[in-house]
Structure 1
Amino acid sequence: MTRTLSSGSLALVAVTAALSLAACSRQPEAPATQAAATETEEVFQEDAGTASEAPEPEASAVSLDEIPEAVRGRWGLVPADCTSTKGDAKGLLEVSADQLKFYEFVARLGTIKEAGESRIRATFAYTGEGQSWTQDVVLDAQDDGKTMIRRDYGKDAMPGPLKYTRCT
């Protein structure tokens, strides 16, 4: 009689084997480092149902009560968002220390879940067009601060990442 394992069972066996091997290792663990995600799908791994632990940010480098300096500024989804003088820049996002300002709504910073020098994950309280809601958001500045990836999580979240370019 041949017995086959489901993909879930195989994953459990693989994880158990990896943990067993790691427990036997006598080498100390290397310190965790925070690397900027270079692919939009790496920005956040909870979509796959796995929670990733971010390393502890340095106390002097990151304030735990505001949006990191590297993320602040004016960002556009398309170049015209940065240059419009008619007030019709629908893809413009202005990021300050405590809020996100979009074309027709504002999001105030709530609970910060993780923060780094150029990345933040937090809950924001949105208001605009007579509505209010909260949204979990990741903002990740990349390419030496030239690009920012925004990813929303939870009910009514955008279906994928949004790529912004810093306005000059």
Structure 2
Amino acid sequence: MMRWMMPAALLLLAACGGGQDGETGPEDSAAISPVQKAERAAPPEMPTAGVNAEAPAPDEDGARVDGDTHPPAIRGRWALSAADCTARKGADLTVLTIGATDLRFYESHGELVRVRESDANRIVADYRFSGEGEQWDRRMTLTLADGGKALVRRDMGEGAVAGAMRYTRCAG
């Protein structure tokens, strides 16, 4: 007899514990204001790193940093070796050319996919690269140094180059 009473008691407890569909809990009682109910129902706003909800901030030259492109001060032609700045096309093996939404290396090309952080002198972004018949994704940080004369590149993620690479701005 005892062994039948225990399962029956558990069933009775389970039946008594829940409410019916449509019943509300204490948070929907009259003691909670309509503002509190709205705050609980609305999902929190997610901040977007590096992207201003207001007008884009100008850099030193008055150009705008928009959060969707490389900052204007970072754009241009850079090289790991200053000699590559003056080398003929095809012999400029360490040159990095940064456009508004892309990066070009000697044998690869990266398209800007997502800006994670950005200001006038720095960007952290995700890129989709292609080159030599392959494709890969990479996150990079590009930061101006020495008053804009140098660019420091850091790659992140699987297959990334360890450490930082320092580029020199090429003239013209």
For Structure 1 versus Structure 2, the TM-score category normalised by the shorter chain is: 0.5 to 0.7
Q: Which residue of 2 aligns with 1:151?
A: 154
> Which residue does 1:107 correspond to in 2?
110
In the alignment, which residue of structure 1 is the partner of 2:56?
59
Partners of 1:86 and 1:111 in 2: CA distance? 30
Alignment of 1:91-130 (within 5 A): 91-130=94-133
Compute the displacement of 1:156 (Å).
0.2
Q: How far apart are the structure 1 equivalents of 2:90 and 2:51?
A: 40
Partner of 2:78: 75
Q: Secondary structure of 1:67's partner?
A: coil
Structure 1 residue 143, shift from structure 2 partner:
1.4
Q: How many residues matched?
A: 115
Computing the radius of gyration from Cα coordinates, the structure with the larger value is 2
Alignment pair present for 1:90 and 2:87: no
CA distance 1:86–1:107, shift in 2 (3 Å): closer
Deviation sequence 1:89-147 (CA, Å, 0-9, x none): 11000000000000000000011000010100000000000000000000001111100
**In the aligned structure 1, how far is the partner of 2:68 from the partner of 2:156?**
20
Partners of 1:124 and 1:134 in 2: how far apart? Answer: 6
Does the CA contact (< 8 Å) of 2:51 and 2:67 recur in 1?
no
In 2: Cα distance, 1:80 partner to 1:112 partner:
31
Q: Which runs of 4 or more aligned residues in structure 1 lie more than 3 Å from their structure 2 counterparts after TM superposition?
A: 54-58
**3-state SS, counterpart of residue 57 of structure 2:** coil
Q: Give TM-score, length-normalised by structure 2.
A: 0.63
Equivalent residue number for residue 38 of structure 1: none
Query: Structure 1 residues 102, 55: CA separation in 2 closer, same or farther (over 3 Å shift)?
Result: closer
Q: Deviations over 1:141-165 (max 9, x none)?
A: 1111100000000000001100000
Give the fraction of aligned pairs with identical amino acids, expressed as a percent. 39
Equivalent AA in structure 2 for residue 142 of structure 1:
A
Match of 2:12 in 1: none
The 3-state SS of whatever aligns with 2:83 is: helix
Equivalent position of 1:160 in the other structure: 163
Q: Distance in 1 between matches of 2:112 and 2:51?
A: 20
SS state of the match for residue 90, structure 1? coil
Q: Which has the higher contact order (CA 8 A, sep 6+)?
A: 1
